[in-house]
Amino acid sequence: MIYDLKILNGNLELDFNPYTYEYTVTVEEDVKSLDFSYRLQDDTYIEIKNNELNDLENKVILEVYNVNEDATYTFWVYKEKLNDVSGIDNYMKSLEVNSKESIDLYKVEFLAVGVFFLLIITFSLIFHKKSQKIK
């Protein structure tokens, strides 16, 4: 019947097996129908039904016929959100602050004041003139 089958514009959850009759396929959200590539046994005919995809769950049927046997393959098709090429979604996520991971503002101010005093003390030790006693 069918020797090999591939989905050209989607991802099969499992590799195709002629004796497995139900599959899950994921496609990008702009895909309107599944594009199949297949190799058939001689004198075998194939009919594709329900191959107009909507935004919800889709059920595409492949009916395969030859003189000796018939087979029906069901493809449950789910659409995935397109990848954001501009990267704006990732940029916006990087700007989000998780409350558990955010830095306490008071700790930052305390640290800044401590560093300031440390610098004052360091400079005063380095540039301090020793007083000389007059005899």
pLDDT tens-digit profile, the chain (135 residues): 898 999 999 999 999 999 999 999 999 999 999 999 999 999 999 999 999 999 878 999 999 999 889 999 999 999 987 665 566 666 666 666 554 455 566 777 888 889 999 999 998 888 876 656 665
Domain ranges of the chain: 2-80, 92-127
The rounded distance, in Å, linking the Cα atoms of 77 and 41 is 26
Fold of 2-80: Immunoglobulin-like (2.60.40)
The rounded distance, in Å, linking the Cα atoms of 117 and 107 is 16
- Are the C-beta atoms of residues 23 and 74 closer than 8 Å to each other? yes
Question: What type of residue is 85?
Answer: V
Q: What is the pLDDT of residue 65?
A: 94
* Radius of gyration of the chain measured on its C-alpha atoms: 34
